[in-house]
Chains A and B, each alone.
Chain A
Amino acid sequence: MPTIAVDAMGGDFAPEEVVKGVAQISTDTEIDCVLVGDESRIQTVLSSIVYNPEKIRIQHAPEHIGMADDPKVALKIKRQASMVVAAQLVTQGEADALVTAGNTGAAVLACVQTFRPIRGVKRAALASVYPRQIEYPGQDQLALLLDVGATIHCEATELVQFALMGSAYARRVSKVPSPRVALLNMGSEETKGGDALVDAYQRLRRASDVNFIGNIEGHDLAKGKADVIICEGFVGNVVLKLLEGLAELVVDLAGTAARENWRWKLGLRVLESGFGKLRDLTDYAAYGGAPILGFEHLLIKSHGRSTARAVANAIKVAAKAVRDGVTREIASAIEQGA
């Protein structure tokens, strides 16, 4: 069973929600976890909840990086921060992957400083899953979008590598034998989107080890056309936040309508289970977190507002990725792609 290092102090609701998530994993699964952070605070939370001590180790780390801290400065000053210590445990072989709900910039930088990049990978990518329409029975409900914020602007080579990494991840984790890969662009024509995107398009079209289906536009994101969508970090982050915002907006609008009109209220009551499913589908807590791809070790970055459920799901994702040999698959894809 894999051992997952968990940054106990990262996130808006740390350490309580993080520790609760780990405790849940300890009683429900066979995954071993190392909780990294302030030992006495972690133990205080643990003692008041149901947990299995056999599957939890606590590694004391006296400092932590706040959500508002400048990543570069924080990593330079706080050498004993929980996120850094957790990353070191992974490189030392005491854990197989890292999960954090902490500062995203610091998480990416901690990977850069601590993990070794996969040979040949130029830039890391933060990948995220999102719900989409299903085109055929058995198709995965989730598509993979990368990069969503690790590399703000990209060159063509980097976009091609993201395609290779995303494709390898989907093959292993989503069990799609030949994931369909698309570039997110402002038009479907191969000449659209500027030099980097045009160049990436040509290279991906020639690539034999990627099932490239061409460009897709924003309105295609929610359809089941592609399994892996490639874009630069700036665009990906905007898209991701927009999807989250829209989901919240739909729920909010429904609530407002129900308060103002009894017919709406009645209608919503009838559709309650359907809305519940929709809410579950758009709930980030259900997906756990986004992997940072491109390093020899895996980091799963979960949402800053992660609850115990989200943390637990992120740990499950990390354990699954370790078990399925995601980093090996990515290394092999990059080697072949080169």
Chain B
Amino acid sequence: MNRRLSKPPVVGPHPVVFSWDLDKTYLKSEFDSLRELVKIPFEKPEDKIAVPGVVPLIRNLRSQAATAGRDARVFFISASPPQIAKAIKDKLALDGVEYDGITFKNQLQNIVRGKFRNLREQVGYKLTELLRARPSFPAVAREVLFGDDWESDPIIYSLYGDILAGNIDHGEIRGILEIIGVDPALIAEAETLAEPIAAIDAVERIYINLERRTPPKLFEHFGARLVPTFNYFQTACCLFQDGYLNLAAVVEVASHLVASSGYTPLRLSNSLADIARRRHLNEVTTIAISEYMHAKGLLPLPRRGRSERQPLWQRIRRWLRSRPKRTVETLQPRPAINYHELIAEWRQAR
């Protein structure tokens, strides 16, 4: 039976928690081969590379929350062992990223206990860590979660959001985690941690960095709460729409992509159009971003020929108006997720 579903009652800017996965979401970790995997513990902080755009994004999320008088916290949940904690913390310091907490996975304990399956299984670990941290946040705090398409972040975060919202009762938690193959001890722990949490629709958005370029259609069943993005400029655009960033911050992220990763104004423009087409941005937001970025010289200048006569933002507006009319502007919330079907589909697709 579902518990009460409500948005937290908030006076003034609501507190917000930004939780980040580390590998493939913050760090461009390469562990496609055993050789790369073995290399990771020996990497120095300066050898580790952040995903383009993520550093200015996190910095702006914090600084703009402070400007708005909002209590904003940044947490990292890493599946890396604590043995490499120092290198990761040094890397975050090197990037100038401030955070309120970071969790590492005790892989040594799993080895000692002979739980080798737990070394690669992340759902039980991350879900229990998220549930464990929740009571330390203000009761009305909303959460924005950041992960990637490499492993199971979409399922973990959606499950967590639905447990908080009371969309999944305790009996169901066990059933779902058993299908996934989570360690029974972690299932029991997740149930215990979920028990005292008051039902609150706290997870506002889940951003999935499409590091593997997983087709976006695969995420449709997760509903509008989950936004798959191909780069952090797209993420910044959505965070602007949700009121967590201003346009200057979006431009800062975009400029970082241009300066550090060879993005061109044309490719930024294509990225913006893509996220709008996938209906994660409404038209008003899209036009606002286009106009501002054009003014800052970050969207392409018209090339030679007739199109020079019209400023780019007007062309984008014309394009938006010329598109086939839709009944809804952005994606609408879907009915509750059927995790049994979703997990089966996810496994089949991977």
Contact = CB atoms under 8 A, between A and B. Distances in A.
Nearest to B266: A32
Interface string A91-118: 1111000000000000000000000000
A86 B270 CA distance: 17
B270 A53 contact: yes
Contacts of B231: 54
Contacts of B216: 47
A51 B216 CA distance: 10
A40 B305 contact: no
A55 B324 contact: no
Contacts of B270: 32, 53-57
B230 A39 contact: no
Contact of B323 (A3, A39, A49, A94): A39
B215 A50 contact: yes
B305 A55 contact: no
A51 to B, nearest CB: 7
A94 B215 contact: no
Nearest to B216: A47
Interface in A54-79: 54-60, 62
B218 to A, nearest CB: 8
Given A43-B278, A47-B215, A53-B230, A93 B271 contact: no
B217 interface: yes
A52 interface: yes
A82 B324 CA distance: 15
B319 to A, nearest CB: 7
B269 interface: yes
B306 A92 contact: yes
B229 to A, nearest CB: 10
Given A54-B267, A92-B307, A93-B304, A60 B215 contact: no
Given A54-B270, A55-B267, A58-B273, A40 B324 contact: yes
A57 B323 contact: no
B213 A94 contact: no
A27 interface: yes
B274 interface: yes
B24 to A, nearest CB: 16
Contacts of A59: 319
A243 B266 CA distance: 42
Chain B interface mostly:
helix
Contact of A60 (B230, B268, B324): B324
B277 interface: yes
Contact of B305 (A32, A48, A58, A91): A91
Contact of A93 (B263, B277, B303): B303
B322 interface: yes
A55 B268 CA distance: 9
A52 B324 contact: no
Contacts of B307: 92-94
Contacts of A27: 213
Interface in B304-336: 304-307, 319, 322-324
Nearest to B304: A93
B318 to A, nearest CB: 11
Interface in B248-289: 263, 266-271, 273-275, 277-278
Nearest to A41: B324
Contacts of A55: 267, 270
Contact of B319 (A52, A60, A93): A60
Contacts of A53: 230, 270-271, 273-275
Interface string B283-307: 0000000000000000000011111
A223 B45 CA distance: 61
B278 A47 contact: yes
B313 to A, nearest CB: 16
B208 to A, nearest CB: 14
Interface of B: 213-217, 230-231, 263, 266-271, 273-275, 277-278, 303-307, 319, 322-324
Given A54-B230, A56-B270, A94-B305, 20 more contacts: A32-B270, A38-B324, A39-B277, A39-B323, A40-B324, A47-B215, A47-B278, A50-B213, A53-B273, A54-B231, A54-B268, A54-B271, A55-B267, A57-B273, A58-B273, A60-B323, A91-B305, A93-B303, A93-B305, A94-B303
10 tightest A-B contacts by CB?
A93-B305, A53-B274, A54-B267, A92-B305, A93-B303, A93-B304, A47-B217, A48-B217, A47-B216, A50-B213
